[in-house]
A and B are shown apart, each in its own frame.
Chain A
Amino acid sequence: MLKIDNLHAEVDGASGSKTILKGLSLEVPAGEVHAIMGPNGAGKSTLANVLGGKPGYDVTQGSVEFKGEDLFELDPHERAASGLFLGFQYPVEIPGVSNVQFLREALNSQRKYRGEEPLSGGEFLKLAKEKAGLLKMDMEMLKRQVNVGFSGGEKKRAEMVQMGILDPAFAVLDETDSGLDIDALRIVGEGINSIMRGQGKGVLLITHYQRLLDVVKPDRVSVLADGRIVQTGGPELALRLEAEGYDAVMAEAAA
């Protein structure tokens, strides 16, 4: 479903451009949840940003196929409309725009792109209420401005409500578990399962913690270090990383 092949990418910084992804290959077939773990600065968020098409990130080599098509042929909003969802590590605040207005317009814009009928105000509110309920988020929060005044945990939970409403085919979730307390972590994990587990769906789950993986139960786990996937295994790899740390597991892989 998502096929990343030999991806090289650089980011424009203040002191010129810097290569971050250095030949990253990874494939996530439909129906799978693939966890990505790795040390800080390894390039995990960069991968998410390159997949999303964030300005300032340039692909210099390699390719990404999404649902059999060249992802880089699409503008960021077209990627979203074709079913790619990004859960942000740091969700952005949009003063003056309510969640309801933002998400209804986003959903209807995606539906239009796919040749589907728009949802009416009433239909949208019903859907939003259902998905907010799933994440145990008060509907009142959705009437407020996008992420403005939300705590770190509330922002992450709101990301999952957005995902529920938009119902993507594939989600790239960047540290969605950071900033969550134990109860919220379970709610978010179960939310991911109920929204994204299913035929024809896939998830790339970037995380540092086993706790989320206890709930979401990934099919595959990969380690990303210095811009490449250095090791891939089953769920037991995550348990070993938690017990022994990145350095030990990576040293063994290199040996």
Chain B
Amino acid sequence: MYPQEPQWAREAIRAGNEKDIKMTEAQTLPTRRDEAWRYADIDAVQRLGTAALDAWQDIAVANGETWQDTMVIGTDAPELRRIRLTLGEGATAAIFVTNTGRDFTRVEVEVTLGKGAHFEFGGVTIGGGDAVREFVTTTIHAEPDATSNQTVRAVHWGTGTGNFLGEIKVARHAQKTDAAQDFKGLLLEAGASANAVPQLEIFADDVKCAHGATVGQLDEAARYYMAARGLSPEQSQRLLVQAFLGDAFVELDDEAAREKLLEAALTALEGASL
């Protein structure tokens, strides 16, 4: 056992008790040696500059309240989106993202959960070319009985990359924490890559932390079966990718929003190699 909780745990607890937090950031750019930036496109980060690094969006969700955001992110230029969430007791926050960046595109979420709070994250990275898209989450279970669930799906071709760096921290007294992370990568070509880096720092003992990561290819037997029924290679690929992505957005109740995120992903798929 650890003699004392680390700095982040005490800060997290303090932060969780404050309504409005003002942040000051380090003004230096990250390097590949920083764990959270190890798969990032550092050249693109340099082009973004420190202003982008400091542009944290801070959101506090009050006790018992619910907050949700859905977003489609990705253009021809590098982009960094940083969101810091603080969830009060029994609060719920959910973020669902489709990341179709054609240049380095990173969505970062840092969330601190109060007692009995819930955090839901569903993300898709999809694309070819040589761009890196990534989700980086830091989930701080600062109080007991909170739950978090993160599902990320990555579909890439060309020499495209999709990353999911998910750090979970559980404070010593945050008993009955239930934190789950699930990552699946689907590579349509040999040059593409998908990386999952789960990182757990757990100081409580009555905790459930499930995490899984797999990377695979399209099921060729399924594609032949679908062709034998009359579906073109484009159609079978689209249907299989759609099925693969589904899990990322199952927890999103708003059907129209779900369709929009899925459609954005499938539009990005057009032009993928078959």
Contacts and interface: CB of A to CB of B under 8 A. Distances in A.
Given A97-B239, A97-B243, A110 B227 contact: no
Contacts of A86: 228
Contacts of B230: 77, 80-81, 106-107, 109-110, 113, 166
A46 interface: no
B29 interface: no
B268 to A, nearest CB: 19
Interface residues of B, number: 21
A106 B231 contact: yes
Contacts of B244: 96
A101 B239 contact: yes
Interface string B224-245: 1111111111010001101110
Contacts of B235: 77, 105, 109
A179 to B, nearest CB: 17
Contacts of A72: none
Contacts of A77: 226-228, 230-233, 235
Nearest to A82: B230
Contacts of B228: 52, 76-77, 79-80, 85-86, 88
Q: Is chain A's interface secondary structure helix, strand, loop, or mixed overall? A: helix
Interface centre among A92, A103, A107, A162 (most CB of B within 10 A): A92
A105 B224 contact: no
Contacts of A92: 219, 221-222, 224-225
Contact of A76 (B221, B222, B224): B224
A101 B246 CA distance: 14
B220 interface: yes
A53 interface: yes
A20 to B, nearest CB: 17
Interface of A: 52-55, 75-77, 79-81, 85-86, 88, 91-97, 101-103, 105-107, 109-110, 113, 162, 166
Given A80-B228, A94-B240, A106-B230, 4 more contacts: A77-B230, A85-B228, A97-B240, A162-B229
Interface of B: 219-222, 224-233, 235, 239-240, 242-244, 246
Which are the 10 A-B pairs with shortest beta-carbon distances? A96-B243, A76-B227, A92-B225, A80-B230, A110-B230, A106-B229, A77-B227, A106-B230, A86-B228, A109-B230
